[in-house]
Amino acid sequence: MEKTWATSSAAGLDLHLDRAGTRVRADLERALREAVGTGRLAAGSRLPSSRALAADLGIARNTVAEAYAQLVAEGWLTARQGSGTRVRERPSGGGQAPGGRASSAGAGLPARAGAAPAADRAPQVDSRFDLRAGVPDLAAFPRPQWLAAARKATAAAPHRLLGYGDPRGCAELRDALAGYLARSRDVRTSPEQVIVCAGFTHALTALTQILIGDGSTAVAVEGYGHAEHRAVIERAGLTAEPLPLDERGARVDALTGSPARGVLLTPAHQFPTGVPLAADRRSAVVRWAAETGATVIEDDYDGEFRYDRQPLGALQALGPDTVVYAGTASKSLAPGLRLGWLAVPNRLLERLLAVPALADQRVDVLHQLTLAEFLTSGRYDRQVRSRRIAYRRRRDVLVAMLHREAPAVTVSGISAGLHALVRLPPGVDERTVVQAAGRVGVAVDGLATFAAGATGVAGGAGSSGAAGRAGDLGAALVVGYARPSDHAFTAAIARLCAVLRRALGSG
């Protein structure tokens, strides 16, 4: 269809309209908004009469009158008896033309902002050789099975579940999770105490508010751990107090006399050092919490992945009244699902649900029902089992290749999880190795990156001072062996081994 463009430059108004379009009035309104928003029509200036503009554009007068009325209602124009239609006087602040950045108003298309402040925070790395810890093999996410569960859940969900729901999550999922957690992690809980959340960070954000309410000014954290978790704690105005780490996990004896009324632990498999919390310390930290009224946050991020023996049961079972258990689908399925869960002591339940972050449910109910279906059908357990086999094999390959290619390094920590701590021999600088790996496309983090007090998050390196406070564990790499896809995995490890061989040869 041929377009018929109409142009009016009455009163400096330079309008381009497609008269053959079906939305003449909408187009006129858009053009007028743009002219006002960009300042082409100055504040206070008078618009042509609707009769004049209509004649000029060759459209119905009524269309112009309606467009003017619409823009008056929206606050762009004013219409006063006797003084005609004028551009409304603009807010004085700012100096910028109100009504939109000039670049954003064209043709109804949103402009790209000049700067993209938050985009692509993570450095670009070659995903085939990405050995940073914390992310599973995303290619192994069982899409067809997940979709089948979603189909079943979406078809079966009663209408009422599509409304605003229980802040803890829907009963179907809380039932399934309570059963799963009892069965697989020996968690002592009930569906009433389970809260569905959008990943561990969401939960931790809420839990900081409970600790503040308990009068805590600090949260004890493991000397090495996720910088993001410490950042959540610090954004809440709390101090993240590092506990020293040794080969038996966090030195919980350091809690005695601490102002912290909370401690964040990874008892099954310390992240990133890979050791479980020793039995006497498990018992001691629960005792400390019971005696001081404190709360233990158990981040059971990969508790389902143990290869050498049966996993340790959750710490929570030793103290269901003091330990908040936190689990996640981020490692077993995928982080992008944003699915996590808490098992909460009864004494904290009401308070936690009054915290803004958990006061309303944040997770799509169809998503919740899909996970519930995955759990009750046994599909979740099968996924965990199959990933366990795959990651165990990868860990064996890593250990074997390191043993052959770089025998001076040692893999410490238990045979579990999705990452390994690879200790470098004395005299080898961890940062040098990380940088050498980067030069051949391999992304891997040094242990210092995770030290409390370290500033760098990805690829950075902590100060020796920070490492000292966290318990000096020497130089090491934290190798996430789950992340590359199957076809890239061996090549990624081979590259890492080649880097280590060179570094140790010259070290």
* 8 A C-beta contact, residue 149 and residue 376: no
Q: Which is nearer to a copy of itself, 9 or 246 (CB)?
A: 246
Q: Taking the complex as a whole, how short is the minimal distance between the CB of residue 114 and a copy of itself, in angstroms? A: 9
Q: Which is nearer to a copy of itself, 157 or 399 (CB)?
A: 157
- How far apart are alpha carbons 156 and 38 in whole angstroms? 51
* 8 A C-beta contact, residue 282 and residue 249: no
Q: Taking the complex as a whole, how short is the minimal distance between the CB of residue 51 and a copy of itself, in angstroms? A: 22
Q: How many CB atoms lie within 10 A of CB 247?
A: 11
* 8 A C-beta contact, residue 482 and residue 494: no
Q: Is 256 exposed, middle or buried (0-12, 13-18, 19+ CB in 10 A)?
A: exposed
Q: Taking the complex as a whole, how short is the minimal distance between the CB of residue 50 and a copy of itself, in angstroms? A: 17
Q: Taking the complex as a whole, how short is the minimal distance between the CB of residue 204 and a copy of itself, in angstroms? A: 9
Q: Which is nearer to a copy of itself, 152 or 392 (CB)?
A: 152
Q: Taking the complex as a whole, how short is the minimal distance between the CB of residue 505 and a copy of itself, in angstroms? A: 34
Q: Which is nearer to a copy of itself, 200 or 224 (CB)?
A: 200
- The angle, 0 to 180 degrees and rounded to 10, between the axes of the packed helices 171-185 and 379-405 is 40
Q: Which is nearer to a copy of itself, 1 or 119 (CB)?
A: 119
Q: Taking the complex as a whole, how short is the minimal distance between the CB of residue 111 and a copy of itself, in angstroms? A: 5
Q: Is 352 exposed, middle or buried (0-12, 13-18, 19+ CB in 10 A)?
A: buried
- How far apart are alpha carbons 484 and 344 in whole angstroms? 35
Q: How many CB atoms lie within 10 A of CB 389?
A: 11
Q: Which is nearer to a copy of itself, 243 or 358 (CB)?
A: 358
Q: Taking the complex as a whole, how short is the minimal distance between the CB of residue 386 and a copy of itself, in angstroms? A: 17
Q: Which is nearer to a copy of itself, 29 or 222 (CB)?
A: 29
In degrees, rounded to 5, the angle at the alpha carbon of residue 215 between the alpha carbons of residues 214 and 217 is 120
DSSP collapsed to 3 states, 154-212: HHHCCHHHHCCCCCCCCHHHHHHHHHHHHHHHCCCCCHHHEEEECCHHHHHHHHHHHHH
